[in-house]
């Protein structure tokens, strides 16, 4: 009986790992986080957004720190979305592209730096993508040239 349980657990963990590797989700996860980030600008900073447009939009990012934070909060979502899109495009490749250490390292450093500087922020949402990307990269590197 214990061997059956062990075998079932191993099969499940192997299935989960295969799903993580085979499915195209890391880039899409990052794009979803970016879109949420952009959408939350309206929720978190409604007064600052009103002031930006009331001031005529141009050169309004320097009025005060709250408006500057709003601008950066919104703008950070755009390159994050593009990074997610590029990762999604690499996930489409069959066989998976090996040696993605540079984008992986950049994503990991961005996530860790964001968590260190702003622990109460949404940078934590990038951790599953970093882990998934690392697992996919490791798998692609192992199977490269076979």
How far is Cα 61 from Cα 71, in angstroms, rounded to an integer? 6
144 neighbors 99 (Cβ within 8 angstroms): yes
Q: Would you list the domain boundaries of the chain?
A: 2-143
> Residue 13: is its pLDDT beyond 70?
no
Cα separation, 136 vs 21, whole angstroms: 5
Q: What is the DSSP letter of 61?
A: G
Other CB atoms closer than 10 Å to residue 104's CB: what's the count? 18
Residues 54-68 have pLDDT tens digits of 888 887 777 788 888
Instruction: Give the pLDDT confidence of 72-119 residue by residue, as tens digits.
Output: 889 999 999 999 999 999 999 888 888 899 999 999 999 999 999 989
| Runs of H (alpha helix) within 93-126 | 101-117
pTM: 0.81
41-74 exposure pattern, b = at least 16 Cβ within 10 A, e = fewer:
beeebeebbebbeeeeeeebbeeeeebeebbebb
């Amino acid at each position: 009986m214990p061997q059956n349980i062990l075998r079932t657990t191993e099969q499940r963990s192997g299935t989960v790992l295969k799903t993580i590797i085979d499915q195209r989700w890391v880039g899409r996860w990052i794009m979803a986080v970016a879109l949420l980030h952009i959408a939350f600008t309206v929720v978190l900073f409604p007064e600052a957004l009103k002031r930006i447009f009331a001031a005529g939009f141009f050169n309004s990012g320097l009025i005060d720190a709250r408006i500057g934070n709003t601008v950066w909060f919104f703008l950070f979502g755009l390159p994050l979305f593009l990074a997610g899109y590029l990762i999604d495009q690499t996930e489409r490749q069959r066989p998976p592209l090996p040696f993605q250490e540079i984008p992986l390292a950049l994503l990991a450093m961005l996530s860790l730096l964001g968590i260190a500087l702003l622990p109460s922020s949404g940078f934590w949402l990038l951790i599953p993508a970093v882990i998934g990307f690392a697992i996919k990269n490791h798998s692609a590197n192992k199977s490269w040239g076979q």
